[in-house]
Amino acid sequence: MRALILSDIHANLEALEAVFEDAQVRGGFDVIWCLGDTVGYGPDPAACIERLLEFELVAVAGNHDCAAVGLSDASDFNDAAKAAVQWTANQLDAGQRDLLAALPMVSVQGSFTLVHGSLRDPIAEYLLDRNSAMGTLALLKTRYCLVGHSHMPFLCHEVEGEPEFSDFPEDERIELGDERWIINPGGVGQPRDRNPRPSYAICDTVDAAIERHRVTYDIAKTQEKMRAAALPVRLIERLDHGL
């Protein structure tokens, strides 16, 4: 089975469509595994949810998804994120709100565990260092863990009980084998690794092999919609820089 792994779409429909197009060219997929933050920041929260629902979908909750439906409070968000959360909440219909509110924090799919942040703190912790990786490996009951939240693509595999981080190369097939891995596919709708191009992964779940790809999209079109919605300028500008 081929799973399309998407994280942090952040209501960026142009980025999402570009990823779909690229994934289809590369052989398509059977299911979407969505690692959370489908909404928040961007101008098309409702459309992004509806688009995902056209496919076989497994999704977990992100902090922005929870905040948009009032399940977690946005008090620790910065002002721009807070403004976007409030705006997002007003864009969703009852069905879309129910869907976000019902998302699980963690989902196990065969050998893969899906979570937005970390297993220790599913919607809040950024898994980026040894300490946070150790915390998740201690709780991980499957061989592989897929995370998002930081919008930073990486690979991390366990070597003699220690997490070892490495770059997640583009367009290269990574065989996961018998080791335990924590993997972040990078962000679709608001990349933060100083590269504005949406990042995503496709996993062959039978062979346990994963590839990461990047695409280009019409950033100006997304930004124009954000301006029309009077979303914070900071959120509009960062899309140019991948920050």
Q: Which residues bind Zn ion (CB under 5 A)?
A: 8, 37
- For residue 96, give both structure tokens: 């879309």
Give the three-state DSSP class for 136: helix
Q: 9 or 208, CB closer to Zn ion?
A: 9
Q: Are 184 and 147 in contact (CB under 8 A)?
A: yes
Looking at beta carbons, which residue is closest to Zn ion? 37
Distance between CA atoms of 36 and 142, rounded to whole angstroms?
19
Strands 154-159 and 181-184: antiparallel
8 vs 211, beta carbon nearer Zn ion = 8
17 versus 37: smaller Cβ distance to Zn ion: 37
Which contiguous run of DSSP H or E holds residue 115?
Answer: strand 112-115
Closest CB to Zn ion among residues 100, 174: 100
Q: Which residues of 183-212 are buried (b: 16+ CB within 10 A; e: fewer)?
A: bbbbbbbbbbbeebbbbbbbbbbeebebbb
